[in-house]
Structure 1
Amino acid sequence: MPHDEEQPLAGGNVSAGVVRVGDTVRRPTGPWTPAVHALLTHLHEVGFRAAPRPLGIDEKGREVLTFMPGQVVWPDRFSLLEPARRLARVARLIRDFHDAVQGFTPPPDPHWQVLLPAEGSEIIAHQDLAPWNLVAGPEDEWAFIDWDAAAPGTRLGDVAYAAHGFLPLSADPGRQRADAGDRLRIFADAYGLDEAERRRLVPLLGRRTRAVHDFLREQAALGTQPWATLWAQGHGEVWRSDAAYIEQRADQWEKALLTG
C-alpha cells in the first residue's frame, strides 16, 4: 500500500479507530499509553520479539506501533491451535513474555488501564492473552497484540485467562473439548508450572473467567462503551456460562494437572 494510505484494521471487539499505515499501526491513545510504551520498549530491549514496538505518537495524536504481519487466530484460524505442539507453543510464548517482563521497572506514577481486579502484582501482566490477540504471521512468527489493558497482575492470572481461550474451556457444545483436561496438562507442562502452581491454578480458571462477566455487567450498568454493547450482544452470558462450566469441573482439571 502507499506509505501514507490508511487501512482500517478489523478484528477483536474494541478495535475502532485502529488503522495500518505502511509497516505501522496507528491507535487511539489513553492515559495508560506512556506506561504501555515503556513496557513494550523494555520487552524489545531484552529480546522479546512477540510484541509490537512503540514508535511514538503521530501528528493526529495516535500511538504508532510496528505492524505485526499475519492474521489474528480468532475466529477463522483457531484450528491452527489444534495440534498439541502449537498449543504448547502458545504456553511457551506466554512464559517467554513473563520471563522478559520480570525485570521491567515501570515509569514513575504509571497509569495503567485496569479492567479486571488483580490478585497480586508480581509482574505487569498482559491481562488479555487470548486467540483474538494472537497474530500468526509468515515464517511461523507469532505475536501478541493489544497491550492497552496491561497492568499489575500475576503470572498465574495470565495463564488462567489464557487457558480459557486457547484450550478452550467453553460451555458452548460446539466448542467443548472431550480432551480439555489433556490440553490443560499440555499447556501447564509447556509453561513450566510446578505442583504448587498447578494446585493454585485450578480455582483461578473459574475466577478469572467469571471476573470478565462481572466486569461487563458492571460496565453495562454504567453505560460504558464498548462494554455495554458487548453485554447487550450476549458476551456476558458467554463468560458466565463458561465460568460455571469450568467451576463445575474443578476436580477434572486438578486430576489432569496433577496425575496426567
Structure 2
Amino acid sequence: MTGVPGAPGLPRVTDDRPGAPEEPLAGGNVSAGVVRVGDTVRRPAGPWTPAVHAVLTRLGDVGFRHAPRSFGLDAQGRHVVEFVPGVMAHPLPDGAAPPRVEDVGRLARALHDALDGWTPPPDARFQRVIPPDGEDFVIHHDLAPWNLVIADDRLVLVDWDGCGPGTRTWDLAYAAHAFVPLAPADAGGPGVEAAGAGLRALADGYGLDDAGRERLARTLAPRTWSMHTLLEHGHRTGTQPWARLWDEGHGGYWRRDAEWIEDHTATLTAALTA
C-alpha cells in the first residue's frame, strides 16, 4: 500500500482480484454507488473519507469488533472497507430476529468508550449534516437499523460517512427513535408503555447513569425534530438528497414522531428515570 495523492496518510488498496464482479448494494436513503467486490465494500469517497478512515482505524486498533475495517482507496478512488456477512436489521428478512435493544445499548456504549478521549487528525474534515448538541468526541450520528448488520457472532455498525463530533446523548436519542421505535402505534410503534420499556432497556444496556437518563429524556424530541428541520431546509433550498426525501414524505414521518414524543414525554421520562 502506498499513499494516495490528495489524501495524505490514506493507503491505496491493490486489488488482488482485478476484474472481479461488482455487486450493487441496496439500502439506505442517501448513499449511491455502493458495491461489493469480494470480501470488501467500495463506496464513493469524499473530503471526509480520510477522517472516516482514521476513525475506523482507531476502532480497529482498540479491538472494537462492531465496525468494519477500513483499507484505504482503490484504483478508482473509492473507499474500501471490510464486507461483513450477515443480514441488515432493516429491512429485516422474513424469519430473522431483530437485534435486542439492550444489545444496541451495549454496542453504543462500547463505541463511545472507544472514541472518548481520542483526538482526530488535525486536518480531519467530517461530513455532518445536522449540528449536534455538543462536540465531546466523534460519534456515528446515524445509529439505526438500516446501518446495522446482524452477523453470526456480532452486530456491526456500517456507513460511517456521517460520523463526526457529537455527544453520547445525541447518538442515543437517535438510536432510541429508530430501535425502540418511538412512533405512534398506528405507524409501527409498540405503544407508549412498551416504548418506555424499550427506552429503559436501551439505557440499561448502555449503563446510563441517572443524569444521563434525564439528558436522554430531554433530548428525544429535539433530536427527532432535528431530522424534520434538515429535510424541510432541503425542501426549501432544493438540496439533495433531502429535497427528494421530503417529497417522498419523510419530513411528515419525522414531524409525526416528534409530536408523538412530545405528547408522551412524561411517560417516557418516567420509564427512563424510575
Among residues 29, 37, 45, which one is paired with 1:13 in the alignment?
Answer: 29
- 2:4 aligned partner: none
- 2:120 aligned partner: 106
Preserved contact between residue 2 and residue 22 of structure 1 (Cα < 8 Å): no
- 1:192 aligned partner: 207
> Structure 1 counterpart of 2:131, which letter?
P
- 1:169 aligned partner: 182
Among residues 221, 228, 236, which one is paired with 2:243 in the alignment?
Answer: 228
* Whole-angstrom CA distance in 2 between matches of 1:172 and 1:14: 27
* Whole-angstrom CA distance in 2 between matches of 1:224 and 1:93: 33
Among residues 52, 68, 85, which one is paired with 2:68 in the alignment?
Answer: 52
> Structure 1 counterpart of 2:153, which letter?
D
- 1:90 aligned partner: 104
- 2:148 aligned partner: 134
Among residues 240, 250, 256, which one is paired with 1:241 in the alignment?
Answer: 256
Residue 110 of structure 1 deviates from its aligned partner by 1.4
Residue 140 of structure 1 deviates from its aligned partner by 3.2
Residue 103 of structure 1 deviates from its aligned partner by 3.3
1:102-150 deviation digits (Å, cap 9, x = unpaired): 132101121111111111111101000001101111x232100011110
SS at structure 2 position matched to 1:173: helix
RMSD value, Cα: 1.8
1:207-241 deviation digits (Å, cap 9, x = unpaired): 10110110011122221222111111001110111
- 1:65 aligned partner: 81
Structure 1 gap segments, 5+ residues each: none
1:240-260 deviation digits (Å, cap 9, x = unpaired): 11011011111001110122x
Preserved contact between residue 41 and residue 54 of structure 1 (Cα < 8 Å): yes
Percent of residue pairs identical = 52
> Structure 2 counterpart of 1:198, which letter?
R
1:244-259 matches, within 5 Å, as 244-259=259-274
* Whole-angstrom CA distance in 2 between matches of 1:164 and 1:81: 19
Task: Say yes or no: does 1:150 pair with 2:150.
Answer: no
* Whole-angstrom CA distance in 2 between matches of 1:151 and 1:187: 22
> Structure 2 counterpart of 1:97, which letter?
L
SS at structure 2 position matched to 1:124: strand
**TM-score if structure 1 supplies the norm length?**
0.94
Preserved contact between residue 92 and residue 98 of structure 2 (Cα < 8 Å): no
Q: 1:25 to 1:77 in 2, by over 3 A?
A: same
> Structure 1 counterpart of 2:88, which letter?
V
SS at structure 1 position matched to 2:71: strand
* Whole-angstrom CA distance in 2 between matches of 1:30 and 1:93: 27
Preserved contact between residue 113 and residue 148 of structure 1 (Cα < 8 Å): yes
Preserved contact between residue 52 and residue 68 of structure 1 (Cα < 8 Å): yes
**TM-score if structure 2 supplies the norm length?**
0.89
Residue 53 of structure 1 deviates from its aligned partner by 1.1
Q: 1:158 to 1:69 in 2, by over 3 A?
A: same
SS at structure 1 position matched to 2:186: coil
Residue 76 of structure 1 deviates from its aligned partner by 2.4
SS at structure 2 position matched to 1:209: helix
Higher Rg of the two aligned structures: 2
* Whole-angstrom CA distance in 2 between matches of 1:30 and 1:66: 18
Preserved contact between residue 209 and residue 239 of structure 1 (Cα < 8 Å): yes
SS at structure 1 position matched to 2:227: helix
Preserved contact between residue 98 and residue 155 of structure 1 (Cα < 8 Å): yes
Preserved contact between residue 65 and residue 156 of structure 2 (Cα < 8 Å): yes
Among residues 126, 132, 141, which one is paired with 1:118 in the alignment?
Answer: 132
> Structure 2 counterpart of 1:186, which letter?
A
* Whole-angstrom CA distance in 1 between matches of 2:267 and 2:117: 35
